Amino acid sequence: MSSMTMDYFEELLKKPSLFKEESKLDNNFIPKRLPHREKELSLLSQLFLALLTNPNSISL
């Protein structure tokens, strides 16, 4: 890379981040709550309840 290109990137890295908390972009981040996911959570609960109450009824 040319010196001019490196200087450009160095200047960009000095600027404040676009994100408030970059750690939340990490794929290991687990949010404390999942807003607007009530339907999905309900479905998962029903599926897991069926598995827990009658594990022999589940076929793989």
Query: Strand, coil or helix: what is 31?
Result: coil
Structural domain boundaries in the chain = 3-57
Residue 42 half-sphere exposure toward CB, CA atoms < 13 A: 5
pLDDT at 58: 66
pLDDT at 50: 85
Model pTM?
0.44
Count of CB atoms situated within 10 Å of the CB of 18 = 6
Helices (H), the chain: 3-14, 38-53
pLDDT at 22: 87
pLDDT in tens, the chain (60 residues): 567 777 888 888 888 888 888 899 999 999 998 899 999 999 999 989 988 888 777 665
pLDDT at 6: 75
